Amino acid sequence: MSREIFTVGSQTVIGMVHCLPLPTTAGFDGDYQKILDHAVQDAKILEAAGVDAVIVENMGDTPFSALLNKTQVAALAAATMQVKNAVNIPVGVDAAFNDCEANLAIAAITGASFIRVPVFVDTVVFTDGIINPCAKKCMEMRKALGKEDIKILPDVQVKHAHMLLPYISIEQSAKEAAENGADGIIVTGTQIGEETPIDLIQRVKKVVKVPVYAGSGVKAGNIKEQLQIADGAIIGSSLKEGGILSNPISYDLVKEVLDGLNA
C-alpha cells in the first residue's frame, strides 16, 4: 500500500500521463489501441522511476473545450482503466479543460483515487470562451455517486486561462476552494512548463490548511526548493525529452527530477 499522499508536508510527486489525441479530436490519427498503449507505458515508467501517483489527462485534445464529448469520455475512461490495472500507485484523472462530471464518473467506475479540477471556484476566459466554476456540481455529484473517498484537487487561477475578474486575489480563490470542499489545491505558472512562482505557493499556504501542490514547471533544478514550501508537485513536460508533450515519459528524466528532490 502506498503512503498517504494527500497530506501537508508529504512532498508528493505526481506524474502526468498525457494521452495522445483522443477519437474525434483534430489530432487523432485513427489508431485507437496506440492511445491505450502509450498511456500504460508512461504510467509504468513513472511508477518504476518512483513517483507517488499518476494523473491520466486528455492533454492531446487541443483545441480544448470546457467539456468532453461522449467519445472522448469513453476513450479517457478506457485509458484510465488500463492505467489503473497496470500500476499499483494511486491514479487520478483530469478531464480537461474542466469536465468535473466526466472526471468523477471515470474515477468512480475505474477506482481512481482523485481528480484534478482546473476551474473550481473561479470564472475564467480561455480559448473556447468563458468557463464558470463547478464546485457545487462537483461536490453534489461526488455525494450522489457515493464516492466521497475520491479526492478533489482543484487549481486556483489556472494556467492557460485568464480570470474574468482579475482583481480577485489568489488568496481569495484558495480560501473559497478550501471552503467548498477541496482536498488539496494546485497552484501553477501561467503556461505549461512555466515555473510556479514560490511566492504564490507561500501566499496560498498561509490561508489554507489543505495540501498545496505546485502544478507547473517543476524540474530537477527547482524541485527541492519548490517542495520546501509546497506539499507536492504535479509534473509532466519536464519528464519528456525536449519537453515535448507528445513524447513518451523518459525514465532517466523522472529519476533526475526525483534525485533533485533527494539531493
Cα first-last separation, the chain: 25
Q: Exposure string (b/e) for 87-110, b if CB count within 10 Å is 16 or more?
A: bebbbbbbbbbbbbebbbbbbbeb
Nearest to 88 by CA among 124, 132, 135, 54: 54
**Residue-level pLDDT at 194:** 82
Whether the pLDDT of residue 1 is over 60: the answer is: no
Here the cell at position 241 is: 525529452
The percent of residues above 70 in pLDDT, for the chain, comes to: 98
**Residue-level pLDDT at 159:** 82
In DSSP terms, which residues pair with 242 in a beta bridge? none
Span 138-195, pLDDT tens digits: 999 999 999 999 999 999 999 889 999 999 999 999 999 999 999 999 999 766 768 8
SS3 assignment, position 193: coil
Q: How many beta carbons lie within 10 A of that of residue 16, not counting itself?
A: 26
The CATH topology of domain 12-262 is: TIM Barrel (3.20.20)
Integer-rounded Cα Rg, in Å, for the chain is: 17
Which pTM does this prediction carry? 0.96
**Residue-level pLDDT at 160:** 86
Give the largest CA-CA distance in the chain. Answer: 48
Helices (H) and strands (E) in the chain, counts: 8, 11
Contact between 55 and 14 (Cβ < 8 Å):
yes
Domain ranges of the chain: 12-262
**Helix, strand, coil content of the chain in percent (nearest 5):** 40, 15, 45
Tell me the average pLDDT of the chain: 95
Nearest to 88 by CA among 116, 46, 117, 59: 46
**Residue-level pLDDT at 122:** 97
Whether the pLDDT of residue 263 is over 90: the answer is: no
The Cα 63–Cα 52 span in angstroms is: 30
Q: How many beta carbons lie within 10 A of that of residue 140, not counting itself?
A: 10
C-alpha to C-alpha distances, 137 to 147, 151, 157, 177, 246, nearest whole angstrom: 14, 15, 19, 13, 32
Q: Exposure string (b/e) for 39-54, b if CB count within 10 Å is 16 or more?
A: bbebbbbbbebbbbbb
What angle do helix axes 32-49 and 251-262 make, rounded to 10 degrees? 30
Span 212-232, pLDDT tens digits: 999 999 999 999 999 999 999
Whether the pLDDT of residue 81 is over 60: the answer is: yes
Q: Provide the CB-side half-sphere exposure for 89 (13 A, CA).
A: 23
